[in-house]
Every structure is written in C-alpha cells, then in structure tokens.
Amino acid sequence: MKRWQASCLGAVAVLILGGAAMLFVIPFGGAMIAAYEPLFNRLTSYALCPEASAYSFRDYGFGQPTGSSPIAGTGHSTELTCTYEDGSQEIFPNEVVGLKGLAAAFTAAGACSGAVVLLLAAVAAAAAGRLVQPRARRTG
C-alpha cells in the first residue's frame, strides 16, 4: 500500500465514523447549549441582531398553562430587546426568540463537531501516511 492510499483510507474512515457520531453529537450538543442560559442568550442575540450594541431579555408569564388540557404543563415567555448605537430598539417576541435561538444553538453544535471531525480526519491521514512503509521497488 502506498502512503497516499493509507492517508486517504485513514481520512475516509474518520470521516465516516465522525459523520455517524455527529448524528448523536449535534442534537445533544444543541440541547446542552440551549440549556446553558448565558450562552443561549448570547447566541440568540447575535443571531437576531448582530449589530446591536446592547441586548436584554425579559421573562414573563411564569406558570401559564401550555395547552387547554387540564394536565397540560406550565411555561413562560421570553422577549428580546436589542438596542442599537443610534438609540433605536427592536423587540423580538417569544416565538422568534425560541426558534432562532434553537437554530443558533444547533448550528453552533454542528459547526463545532464538524470542525473536530475535519481536524481528526487530517490527523488520521497524516498518521496513516507516516505509519505505512512503502514497498521496495523491484528491479530486474
């Protein structure tokens, strides 16, 4: 086996295994980011108003029923206010904050895990290429 073949084989093996692992890492990583409130708030504010100079979240309606059923759970609502350099403000309702925030959290998890898989593929390619001893050429 030649060195370049070993490098390709090592990289492809890591990409296949890493791609399969990302099916697990992205949903759980996104959920963990969404559960950590300071990081989730920062990602949400950056996704909704990246050019804002300040932002604030307001939680309200704690204990509201989430449905009309008597056994429905309770929840709350969140509102994001972005303040810009010129003093103007923009307010985002609960639905926008929730959807864009979750999208930002899962995107961050996907980008980080994708970068790790690519880095590991490069390391595997380099290591596999160094481990393979090329065959001696036969003359005659």
Residue 41 burial (10 A CB sphere; 0-12, 13-18, 19+): middle
Whole-model pTM? 0.80
User: What is the chain's pLDDT, residue by residue, as a tens digit (140 residues)?
Assistant: 788 888 999 999 999 999 999 999 999 999 999 999 999 999 999 999 999 999 999 988 887 777 777 787 788 889 999 999 999 999 999 999 999 999 999 999 999 999 999 999 999 999 988 888 777 677 65
Q: Are 115 and 8 in contact (CB under 8 A)?
A: no
